[in-house]
């Protein structure tokens, strides 16, 4: 008997993370057995498009409480993009034998740490799926909703050598809880740790010497009363700290569906952490039923009609082939549409077939947008009549007086004065 079963009755009110519902079958998926020692007592289901090529990516998708592998498969929209972009899906499934409410035991150290319990079972499923489909071990990703999102956090921390990226939907920071009681604390009132404290929890869970980390997307509704929105802030702090970058966004975008995207770039200008905040959305996974290219999924319990999170997550991971830009021409008609003391707004002619545009300043990518316009927040700002370097805050003189300085970027959004290499000032 699993130790969690005795606590089932007391946890029936928590909805998405710890709520109760009957087990569903996984019709429409292929069940795979014999995938390892399976110490977590999970079931493995897969979906692969016809004629999937060798070396294809793999996405692991973890359902929430009260759900099943088939439920997630039917509602989340991931099969649409597996077909469109060419990757395989693995959908692990837990049961009432593990947890009376069919939740992944994200709060149990023996199930969420490297080489243990359910976490090890999921890792064994990855190994099996890669062998079955000839997948690319460098392009394995994991996502999940609610309890599945919380387990995703822990899997990214425990196996950064396995997963190139993750997406946490209405979830919690890695290693936030170590028991049922602390799980409730995390859900309703997450600890306000410093970014370094959260980051240390990830680093201590990962193999010693890890210096390469997954790219992480965080999805959160502002009206979520099951997993409070503060968890998204703590998740942001955790994974930006792991990446060694600050907590100020490199840029923000409005995506529609009441969704604001905040992007945190690494030192090379590539997005490392993205936070998708869905205004007014309650606890659940963001879906957008319809046949449009950016639409997916179907509405249901804990599947909320707002925006297709699977589409945006797949693009964030590069599963749409966005890395290959050679087949499209560069935009034309670049125009400065407005300036302020701290920003420059640009627009250009849209390119047919372009999903997004990369914006460069001085040969370095500073942003990415899906529209044919962008506002560059620049490298300096003015306050009280003086100019300051963005990030470091170093004084550069009176802002309305001609003064020349060279600024060096030391991290995304962080500049310091570096006049030593500037000639002829």
Kindly list the catalytic residues.
146
How many CB atoms are located within 10 Å of the residue 236 CB? 23
Instruction: Give me the residue label for tokens 């099996």.
Output: 128
The closest of 260, 218, 266, 273 to 244, measured between CA atoms, is 266
Sheet holding 43-47, edge to edge: 30-32, 43-47, 88-93, 58-62, 140-145, 165-169, 215-221, 271-278, 259-265, 251-256
The closest of 113, 87, 63 to 300, measured between CA atoms, is 63
Cβ proximity of 170 and 219 under 8 Å: yes
Q: How far apart are CA 107 and CA 33, in angstroms?
A: 26
Burial label, 208 (beta-carbon count in 10 A; 0-12, 13-18, 19+)? exposed
Strand duo 285-287 + 303-305: pairing: parallel
Q: Where are the alpha helices (DSSP H) in 180-248?
A: 180-188, 195-205, 230-243
Q: How far apart are CA 82 and CA 47, in angstroms?
A: 8
Full DSSP string of 256-290 = ETTEEEEEEE-TTS-EEEEEEEETT--SSEEEB-S
DSSP 20: -
Strand duo 165-169 + 215-221: pairing: parallel
How many CB atoms are located within 10 Å of the residue 425 CB? 8
The closest of 208, 272, 210 to 238, measured between CA atoms, is 272
Chain centroid, CA 305 distance in Å: 19
Q: How far apart are CA 393 and CA 391, in angstroms?
A: 6
Instruction: Give me the residue label for tokens 């997993």.
Output: 227
First to last CA, the chain: 76
For 255-278, give one letter per residue: b (16+ CB within 10 A) or e: bebbbebbbbbbeebebbbbbbbb
Q: How far apart are CA 166 and CA 140, in angstroms?
A: 9
């Amino acid at each position: 008997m699993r130790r969690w079963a005795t606590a089932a009755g007391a946890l029936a009110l928590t909805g998405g993370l710890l709520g109760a519902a009957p087990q569903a079958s996984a019709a429409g998926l292929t069940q795979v057995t014999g995938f390892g020692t399976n110490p977590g007592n999970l079931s493995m289901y897969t979906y692969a498009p016809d004629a999937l090529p060798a070396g294809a990516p793999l996405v692991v998708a973890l359902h929430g409480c009260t759900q099943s592998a088939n439920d997630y498969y039917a509602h989340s929209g991931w099969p649409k993009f597996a077909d469109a972009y060419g990757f395989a899906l693995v959908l692990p499934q837990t049961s009432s034998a593990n947890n009376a409410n069919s939740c992944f035991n994200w709060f149990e150290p023996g199930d969420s740490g490297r080489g243990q319990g359910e976490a090890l079972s999921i890792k064994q499923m990855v190994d099996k799926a890669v062998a079955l489909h000839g997948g690319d071990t460098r392009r394995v990703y994991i996502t999940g909703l609610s309890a599945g999102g919380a387990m995703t956090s822990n899997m990214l921390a425990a196996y950064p050598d396995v997963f190139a990226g993750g997406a946490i939907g209405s979830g919690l920071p890695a290693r936030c809880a170590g028991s049922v009681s602390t799980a409730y604390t995390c859900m309703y009132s997450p600890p306000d740790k410093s970014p370094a404290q959260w980051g240390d929890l990830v680093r201590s869970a990962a193999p010693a010497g890890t210096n390469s980390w997954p790219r992480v997307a965080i999805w959160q509704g502002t009206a979520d009363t099951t997993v409070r929105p503060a968890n998204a802030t703590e998740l942001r702090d955790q994974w930006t700290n792991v990446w060694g970058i600050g907590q100020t966004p490199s840029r923000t975008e409005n995506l529609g569906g009441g969704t604001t995207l905040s992007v945190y770039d690494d030192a090379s200008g590539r997005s490392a952490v993205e936070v998708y905040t869905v205004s007014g959305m309650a606890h659940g996974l963001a879906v957008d039923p319809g046949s449009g290219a950016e639409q997916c999924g179907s509405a249901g319990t804990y599947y909320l009609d707002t925006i297709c999170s699977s589409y945006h997550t797949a693009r964030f991971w590069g599963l749409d082939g966005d890395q290959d830009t050679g087949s499209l021409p560069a935009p034309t008609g670049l125009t400065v549409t407005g300036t302020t003391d701290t920003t420059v707004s640009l627009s250009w002619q849209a390119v047919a077939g372009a999903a997004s545009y990369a914006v460069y300043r001085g040969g370095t990518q500073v942003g990415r947008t899906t529209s044919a316009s962008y506002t560059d927040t620049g490298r300096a700002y003015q306050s009280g009549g003086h100019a300051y370097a963005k990030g470091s805050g170093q004084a550069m003189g009176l802002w309305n007086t001609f003064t020349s300085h060279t600024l060096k970027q030391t991290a995304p959004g962080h500049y310091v004065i570096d006049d030593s290499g500037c000639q002829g000032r």
